[in-house]
Amino acid sequence: MPGELVAQECPTILFGAFDRHNFGDLLFPHIAAALLNDENIVFAGLAERDMRNQGGHRVEAIARLATQWQHCAVNVIHAGGELLGCDAWQAAVMLQTPRHARSIVAQYDGNRQDGLAWARRMIGLDALAPYVLSRDIFPHVGQMIHNAIGGVEIDECDAMMRAEILARLRAADAVGVREKQSMTLLQAHGIATRLMPDPAVMVADLFDARIRQRADAGEVARMRTIFPRGYIAVQFSAGYGDDATLREIAAQLDQVAAATGYGIVFFRAGAAPWHDELACYRRVAQRMHAPASRIFASLNLWDICALLARSHAYCGSSLHGRIVAMAYALPRINLRHPARPGGVDKVRAYADTWDEGMPATAEVHAIAAGILHALSADAEPLRRKAAALAAQYRQAFDALCAGLRP
């Protein structure tokens, strides 16, 4: 329990959004813990959750730790992800069950101030951007480190939230960012950053044996049996769930199946509110003419990694679906939502920084062309890129955390 750790010398808190089901967020603490090789680590989010059944960790609530460890010298590492632009309302809603989230959104619809007050009570922090912790939360903090974070939309935040974020980043001991867009934005505000790949580039390097074991059993093994010629792993968020978009996705995937002979396996990269929904996959599968599609039900982190690792390609809206495919030197392409055809989002920003030569995004009417183009890539450059990114991340992480070392 947290109270039992107060007397220990300088524990390291890994903090992030791994108190809810999102593929990348669940991966981050595994990677940081493996690289730190430190038994004195505590995993913390905004809420107390036990995510071990889904491949995650038992997660403590950061507000509770802050109360109990007022006199403890702790190190805090923000474990990674698109944290900067997540406000308290979004964070609190995504910590609910989907059903409760719908009720909460309906309850506070049109009443932003009351909704924000509920969110702050729920997470126990008086913050507009709760995933950007203040140094003041732990008066005796040793190192406050932000690891491979993203914030491509920080300048679109309201002035008060942006000021809070920037002040807290300026007070940090080290800030790593995962793409050039966020680096440029923060440097324009006078914040020194270190450019580094996303932590998920380390998945194959650190956990390949574990992932191979998952691929040879359970639901992943069943998919490999059903599709002996191979399959393409496909995922998209609930934001693609209107009828016209689903019809187009179905038609495009029919073209891919016909051209390649590969199966189509739909999976969820996140089950938290505003992420992925099985109902969308069922609806698109019903619209497909090709019989070679299946819905992958498991939400276990390692099953998802194994599904991706044994695929022939990844196509979807998840950035971390792409990055795990990168780690396994696989073809990949992300979807670009019809309502957001232009501008730079986190996927495009990351691809532009680290994945030159592989198609970044495609609108739904170009899915087939995008997947087939990605599949034409030479394997050896993809392998070299995967190895290079893992080496770059390891070096950058060690430098970022140098202050933690004795």
Mean pLDDT per segment of 10 residues, for the chain of length 406 residues? Answer: 50 94 96 91 96 97 93 92 89 88 87 87 92 92 94 90 96 96 95 97 98 96 97 94 94 96 96 89 92 94 98 97 98 85 78 92 95 96 97 97 74
Residues 6 or more apart whose Cβ sits within 8 Å of residue 274: 90, 93, 94, 101, 237, 238, 239
Integer angstrom CA distances of residue 209 from 20, 30, 53, 215, 269: 25, 14, 20, 10, 21
Q: How far apart, in whole angstroms, are the C-alpha atoms of residue 307 and residue 224?
A: 9
Contact 75, 404 (CB under 8 A): yes
pLDDT score at 227:
96
CA dihedral 398, 213, 307, 326 (to 10 degrees): 30
Question: In one letter, which amino acid is 373?
Answer: H
pLDDT value of position 5: 44
Domains of the chain (ranges; CATH) run 2-196 (3.40.50), 202-390 (3.40.50.2000)
Contact yes or no for 110/48 (Cβ under 8 A): no
